[in-house]
Structure 1
Amino acid sequence: MDLTSEKIQRILSKYKFRDVAVEELEKIYRIYPGMTLSTGTYTFSDSTQKDLLKLTGTIPVQYEGRSYNFPIQLWLLDSFPFTPPICHLKPTSNMVIREGKHVDAHGRIHLPGLHNWDHPKSSVVGLLNEMVTKFQEDPPLSSKTTTDKKDPHELLAFVSNFRISDGGISHHDQPINKVSVIGGGDLGMASVMSILSKCKVDKLVFIDVAESSTKGGSTDLEIFSLPKVEVSRDISASAGSRLVVVTANAWSSEQSYVTVVQTNVDLYRGIIPNLARLSPSAVMLIASQPVDIMTHVAWRQSGLPPTHVIGAGCNLDSERLSHVMDINLNTHKPAWVIGELSDNKIAVMSNSGLNSSASPEIAQGSSSTKPLLDRAFEIMKNRGQRSWSVGLSIADITNSVLTDKRKVHSVSTLAQGWGGIAVEVFLSLPCIMGVNGSTRLAGVSLGQEEDSKLRNSVTSLSNLMAQLRI
């Protein structure tokens, strides 16, 4: 959200509580990064006019198993945030307003949160969440082609290739090989540069949703423009992507680990549903931390099939393990690190050689393979996961998807049903990656020590998920 433009600064200077308003706007952008700030002249019911700030964007709404983006506009009065915004639906030419309990015939939104506004207890983020809840119960938009009853099943509130801006909604064609990276900071930048180097892309969109202190990288990309790269802060720029990489993190200063992770979950709530709606056929690759939890959260929030939501997981460790075993130990067979990205991760080997044409399978654990894997782990012991190395790993997975390479990667995926895992949990498992997402390799019997580590991870991850508000 750009607060530095001359127009915005000029209007903002007239706000009675400027500093508090800026703080509130920054909170909005952290949770709803797709909202854009601009200026305009608002006409009140008594025909008086005033230059004000306004927020324009969409909110994600689920209705009977389908997903929609509802375009809205919020006018911020000069006493904001101590007075509530004036909220309107902004239907496209294909939409018609369904007058109801919370929306009048002119699109003005009426909610309890507006009528009972009491800052700081009340906030725009809370108001937007209330809109989502109320509109899911009674969608206020429908298609113009429907009958007088305006059946909400015919909603046209979301089209996968529209762009919302202050000037309205426009349609645009997307190139075939389009990749979007969501999240600023070092990992976002590393992912962009690695994908550009390794993958054949027609367009790469870098959407910066990081804190302002880490936005230097995206600004530099804007200054030193690169071919095929678009830098944006508008989620709708990702529309039509074949693969979406999410590196965004919103770590808080809270001491509780659960609270820290919840901050990331809250950030995702404003990002993931929009990404899924804008690119419903895309593979979503998660690299936010903790990766197994955030991949699980992204799958829940997106509504995409589990084969299309994966995490970077243990892919980097797996590539390192295979390299060490091939170069240092002369095994000439792929190996994968599986399980949770933690001290509980374990290693498995393939039945077939590196250049074999046979279908890949995980080898049963044996007394002969365990010493090799333990030795390889020892060699890898002091190798960290720096941003640039994770970025290279992300590019490797991206390349397998875009080229339908059918390479086996150890990625975080829905593990339920694998190796007797009965609960819904995401762990890194060997998966064949291609244009249609991931296909898990069949599970095998593990040794007692390895199985115990895997079960411990299942328990700890399940317990953490149960404490989060998804």
Structure 2
Amino acid sequence: MRRDCVGSVQLNLQVLFSGVDVPEGYKFRDLAIEELQKVSRVYTDMEVKSETYTFSDSLQKDLLKLVGNIPIRYHGHSYNLPILLWLLDSFPFTPPICFLRPTSSMVIREEMIAKFEEEPPLGTRSSAHGDSPNDLLAYVSNLKVNEGVNRPDQEVKVSVIGGGDLGIATVLSIMAKSSVDKLVLIDIPESSTKGGTMDLEIFSLPKVEVSKDLSASAGSKVVVVTANAWSDEQSYLSVVQTNVDMYRGIIPHLAQLSPKAVLLIASQPVDIMTHVAWRQSNLLPTQVIGVGCNLDSERLSHIINISLVANNTGKQAWVIGELSENKVAVWGNMGPGTDQLQALSPVSNSTKPLMDRALEMLKGRGQRSWSVGLSISGITHSIITDQRKIHSVTTLAEGWGGIGSKVFLSLPCILGESGSTRLPGVALGSEDEMKVRESVACQVNLFMQLKM
């Protein structure tokens, strides 16, 4: 920010916050201030406060909160909804925690309940109705994302970092599935997964460039990192630390060369390494994702719809959480007459036997290089074509389902050219909730031992 703008921002901040101090730890402080100023211009009665928020995992943080009324138009009438928004310290790149704030004078009229049963409120209507606020928000978002970035003459370039089996499988899968103008495979010397690039150099595939220089990745739309650096003799902590040290030498450089790219992490452990890549790259959290449970989610839905039910019901199952024994499954509820996912729902008592059987069948499927490569190509295709398709990928989970820590877990996200947009959380059953909490605690503990 220029020096002559600082005083103006500070003055506006004082007016907007009415003496409330912005808590320490807000990563995108200037951008958060800018967004809050926009809110204050539209909703002048919105009040900003700083208070302590307690997450469902008992973690407490000093956060900003917005309190006020939002006017909603419904059937020709205007309704003022009292709301409370808690802004996480990664705002505006993680959604706020939203609550309705009932007042003593609020009542629910019986006739309104009857009307809602006949026709659902705007916030719950499917996109088939064509006038959902979500459609408008998505449309406006697309206008911002697509402005100046979809020129026909712009090169679609993807780079893959790591020349091992997974790197080669990723290159071949992307070339088979996606229409890219250029694909660069970079075999870095620091990686223990290397040596597979010679055959690609010998047979010289069209549009594929093989290099050992990171600068060859400049201007990429997607940068896939498959490299790992470890040996079998190392302990788990030292294995992860070795990968962290390798990332320190490549991730900042990759981010500088392609500042608008989506960084797709496939190194192991993917949840930790995606977190490391986000911190080292200084990119937005929406730009850094991991392959996570995407492959397991695709397999699980296929098993349920083809192997068990014997016909394609269109029911979507998602594997979320940590890529470990603690991963859990949830259902995706599809809107009527549309293929758009409306919400997530936990596994109920009636569907648990089906899900348990499907998960048991899933255990026999390995994470082979070619299968992971196919999964990576699907994610990459959704990004470079701005497909807005939902994948279960590793993303910043702070605020999702009451998680207060900065950890990365697999969650269903909409993927496009600008990166990922996380879907809202879901209330899990006690057993699944315990698995997610255990994953969060383990990640926090491991991260405290790493030297970034």
Q: Give the counterpart letter for 1:283 in structure 2.
A: V
**Superposition deviation, residue 334 in structure 1:** 1.1
Cα deviation digits, residues 96-140 of structure 1 (max 9, x gap): xxxxxxxxxxxxxxxxxxxxxxxxxxxxxxxxxxxxxxxxxxxxx
The whole-number CA distance in structure 2 between the counterparts of 1:228 and 1:354 is 42
1:345 aligns with 2:324: no
Indicate if the aligned counterparts of 1:295 and 1:309 stay in contact, CA closer than 8 A: yes
- Indicate whether 1:231 and 2:210 are aligned: yes
Matching of residue 305 in structure 1 with residue 287 in structure 2: no
**Following the alignment from structure 1 to structure 2, what is the Cα–Cα distance between the partners of residues 406 and 187?**
25
Distance 1:178 1:445, change over 3 A: same
Match of 2:355 in 1: 373
Moved over 6 A (4+): none
Aligned partners of 1:211 and 1:250 also within 8 Å: yes
Once the two structures are TM-superposed, the CA of residue 320 in structure 1 deviates from its matched residue by 0.1
Is the deviation greater in 459-468 or in 366-375? 366-375
Aligned counterpart, 1:88: none
Q: Does 1:332 align with 2:311?
A: no
CA distance in 2, matches of 1:424, 1:316: 24
| In 1, Cα distance between equivalents of 2:412 and 2:204 | 37
CA displacement 1:240-292 (0-9 Å, x = unmatched): 00000000101145532111110000000000000000000000000000000
| Contact 1:333/1:354 (<8 A) preserved | no
Change (3 A) 1:354 1:299: farther
Residue 231 of structure 1 aligns with an amino acid whose one-letter code is: V
Determine if the alignment matches structure 1 residue 245 to structure 2 residue 234.
Answer: no
For the aligned residue pairs, the C-alpha RMSD in angstroms reads 2.0
Structure 2: unaligned runs, 5 residues or longer: 1-27, 30-152
The 1:245/1:372 distance shift into structure 2, 3 A limit, reads same
2:366 equivalent in structure 1: 384
Counterpart residue identity of residue 463, structure 1 = N
Shift of 1:367: 1.3
Q: What aligned pairs does 1:54-453 form with structure 2 within 5 A after superposition?
A: 176-210=155-189, 215-252=194-231, 254-330=233-309, 331-352=313-334, 356-453=338-435
Matched position secondary structure for 2:438: helix
Secondary structure class of the residue paired with 2:343 = coil
What is the CA distance between 1:405 and its match in structure 2? Answer: 1.1
Looking at structure 2, the residues matched to 360 and 326 of structure 1 have their Cα atoms a distance apart, in angstroms, of 19
Moved more, 402-411 or 283-292: 402-411
SS at match of 1:241: coil
Aligned partners of 2:443 and 2:387: how far apart in 1? 31
Partners of 2:203 and 2:283 lie apart in 1 by 35
Question: Structure 2: which amino acid aligns with 1:333?
Answer: K
Q: 1:251, 1:263 within 8 Å by CA — same for their partners in 2?
A: yes
Could you tell me which amino acid in structure 1 is paired with residue 387 of structure 2?
K
Number of aligned residues: 299
Q: Which structure is higher in helix share?
A: 2
TM-score normalised over the length of structure 1: 0.61
Contact 1:177 1:242 in 2 (8 A): yes
Tell me the distance in 1 between the aligned counterparts of 2:235 and 2:336: 44
Rounded Cα–Cα distance in structure 1 between residues aligned with 2:326 and 2:435: 5
Q: CA deviation at 1:215?
A: 3.9
Instruction: Tell me which amino acid in the other structure corresponds to 1:255.
Output: Q
Change (3 A) 1:291 1:214: closer
5 Å-filtered alignment, 1:14-93, equals: none
SS of the residue 1:230 aligns to: strand
Alpha-carbon distance in structure 1 between the residues aligned to 2:368 and 2:189: 18
Displacement, 1:341? 0.4
Cα gap change, 1:355 to 1:398, in 2 (>3 Å): farther
Cα distance in 1 for residues equivalent to 2:266 and 2:437: 23
Change (3 A) 1:212 1:269: closer
Separation of aligned partners in 1, 2:210 and 2:180: 15
Q: Identity, % of aligned pairs?
A: 68
Secondary structure of the 2:196 match is: helix
Q: Deviations over 1:39-87 (max 9, x none)?
A: xxxxxxxxxxxxxxxxxxxxxxxxx99xxxxxxxxxxxxxxxxxxxxxx
Q: TM-score if structure 2 supplies the norm length?
A: 0.64
Q: Secondary structure of the residue that 2:159 maps to in structure 1?
A: strand
Matched letter for residue 250 of structure 2: I
SS at match of 2:342: coil
One-letter code of the match for 1:442?
P
Offset of residue 369 of structure 1: 2.4
Unaligned runs of 5+ residues in structure 1 are 1-63, 66-173
Give, as a single letter, the amino acid of the residue that structure 1 aligns with 2:356: D
Structure 1 residue 467 corresponds to structure 2 residue 446: no
How many angstroms apart in 2 are the aligned matches of 1:206 and 1:437? 21
